[in-house]
Chain A
């Protein structure tokens, strides 16, 4: 078992007019990485490179310890969940199994049936009849049925109600009770990850702004709030400063705190606040 579930080193890639530049991060096996950033930041492009669907212009990519592109059999161990299904709409859920099973050496039919049952999905239903939340569960059922060790989720919760989003967190928690299972969860809804992410990589405009354990990232920044006359110095090292008639709120590196003046309220930020303040337009 490889110690790293996935690794990208200095990856450059182009998709249309969009460019990824020098993307570097890795996820140790057995953990969850939140891959966060605003819409259009490059999350999907990065994931496509990771899965071998897009060839990078430069850099190295490793999946489950092996260089990508490589033997496609590597994907036997990878499950993918997106914000839309990638099956024939008119297939019934039983047809989905029939179509996919020949490709996976470890497909477990019993597991598929019991997962559908557990998720409340009727095998006789067609893919197009599923709600958004049910579609997500179908993709998870498929991924778990071939015993995937790495789950890659790209915006799985967009369009989902909070109940379904919470269910996903529960499903992932269960998936991670095995220490050789890893998850890459890309989203722009950071609240989903706030609690369960072990690692966070923050991407913006095709570049990685930060990649570390979630705790380290949260420790590296502070949210500061002051009155309308505070933090007016344009040279102050603030990010995402928001001014109103009653005050100002901004993000600052913990290391830069001492450089700020004024009677300020300082507190630890949430992951969401970091992404919003660092990800917004400057």
Chain B
């Protein structure tokens, strides 16, 4: 196992004592989808919520002086930064799976449609949203530390939510000539990945400069 994977594993173990909280959070959230009678939205909601959980290691690290642990362990700081992003991705994937299962169960229980194609697009959209949130928030956490960054990180979340809501309302469905769905999906995924990669580099730079 390489250093980055070990750091991701460490992040998972860091969060493990709080797993009950996390599970409750991730399971209650999609119940809102039931209110909207849109079970396919469930995975999206869980995935967005997982971004909050992805910030847990920052908070726990600050409270328990894990920066010293990271300094004592035989790893490079860069591995920590990359590992944290992979930790977020692991959570997102778990959230997608859990959310999909919940949504599916919800759909079956409530007799609502659970379209796979619609689900597919929503998962991609969710990935983009999550990718943007992580890409914007993580550099702030690495640069300022959890407590100071927390005040600022809510802004991107609201901004993204606002954009999404506006987009859903404002954009008429057929007026813009969109490229074919496959291309759109490809652009979305690749773009998000590129954004994340850039974010990792920025985080690494900011983290290195921070005085601990």
Residues from 41 to 60 in B contacting A, C-beta threshold 8 Å:
60
* Chain B residues with CB under 8 A of A68: none
| Chain A, Cβ-Cβ closest to B72 | A80
Contact with B along A249-282 (1 / 0, CB 8 A): 0000000000000000000000000000000000
B177 on interface, CB distance cutoff 8 Å? no
Residues from 171 to 212 in B contacting A, C-beta threshold 8 Å:
211-212
B73 on interface, CB distance cutoff 8 Å? yes
In Å, the complex CA distance between A52 and B74 comes to 11
In order of increasing CB-CB distance, the 10 nearest A-B pairs are: A90-B17, A86-B68, A53-B71, A75-B74, A86-B69, A99-B13, A72-B74, A80-B72, A86-B65, A76-B74
In Å, the complex CA distance between A75 and B70 comes to 11
CB pair A88–B17 under 8 Å, yes or no, is yes
B66 on interface, CB distance cutoff 8 Å? yes
In Å, the complex CA distance between A82 and B212 comes to 16
* Chain B residues with CB under 8 A of A86: 64-69, 72
Known: A52-B71, A102-B9, A104-B74. A88 touches B60 (CB 8 A): yes
B6 on interface, CB distance cutoff 8 Å? yes
In Å, the complex CA distance between A59 and B64 comes to 31
In Å, the complex CA distance between A122 and B17 comes to 18
In Å, the complex CA distance between A90 and B66 comes to 13
CB pair A88–B211 under 8 Å, yes or no, is no
Give the interface of A toward B (CB within 8 A): 15-16, 48, 51-54, 72-76, 78, 80, 82, 84-91, 95, 98-100, 102-104
* Chain A residues with CB under 8 A of B69: 86-87
Known: A87-B64, A87-B69, A103-B6. A73 touches B13 (CB 8 A): no
Give the interface of B toward A (CB within 8 A): 1, 6, 9-10, 13-14, 16-18, 60, 63-69, 71-76, 211-212
Within the complex, which residue of B16, B76, B211, B212 is in contact with A95, where a contact is CB–CB below 8 Å?
Answer: B16
CB pair A51–B72 under 8 Å, yes or no, is yes
A selection of 6 A-B contacts at a CB cut-off of 8 Å is A15-B211, A86-B72, A88-B17, A88-B66, A99-B10, A102-B9
In Å, the complex CA distance between A84 and B68 comes to 10
Beyond A15-B211, A99-B10, 15 extra complex contacts between A and B, CB < 8 Å:
A51-B71, A53-B68, A54-B212, A72-B76, A80-B72, A85-B65, A88-B17, A88-B64, A89-B64, A90-B17, A90-B18, A91-B17, A102-B1, A103-B73, A104-B74
Known: A16-B211, A102-B1. A72 touches B75 (CB 8 A): yes
Least CB distance, B195 to chain A, in whole angstroms: 29
| Chain A, Cβ-Cβ closest to B9 | A102
| Chain A, Cβ-Cβ closest to B75 | A72
* Chain B residues with CB under 8 A of A53: 68, 71, 212
In Å, the complex CA distance between A72 and B78 comes to 11
* Chain A residues with CB under 8 A of B14: 88, 99
| Chain B, Cβ-Cβ closest to A142 | B72
CB pair B74–A98 under 8 Å, yes or no, is no
In Å, the complex CA distance between A190 and B9 comes to 41
In Å, the complex CA distance between A91 and B63 comes to 13
In Å, the complex CA distance between A98 and B74 comes to 16
Least CB distance, B6 to chain A, in whole angstroms: 5
In Å, the complex CA distance between A85 and B65 comes to 8
* Chain A residues with CB under 8 A of B76: 72
* Chain A residues with CB under 8 A of B211: 15-16, 54
CB pair B72–A75 under 8 Å, yes or no, is yes
CB pair B74–A103 under 8 Å, yes or no, is yes
| Chain A, Cβ-Cβ closest to B7 | A103
CB pair B212–A73 under 8 Å, yes or no, is no
* Chain A residues with CB under 8 A of B73: 72, 75, 100, 103
In Å, the complex CA distance between A98 and B6 comes to 12
In Å, the complex CA distance between A235 and B49 comes to 72
Least CB distance, B148 to chain A, in whole angstroms: 16
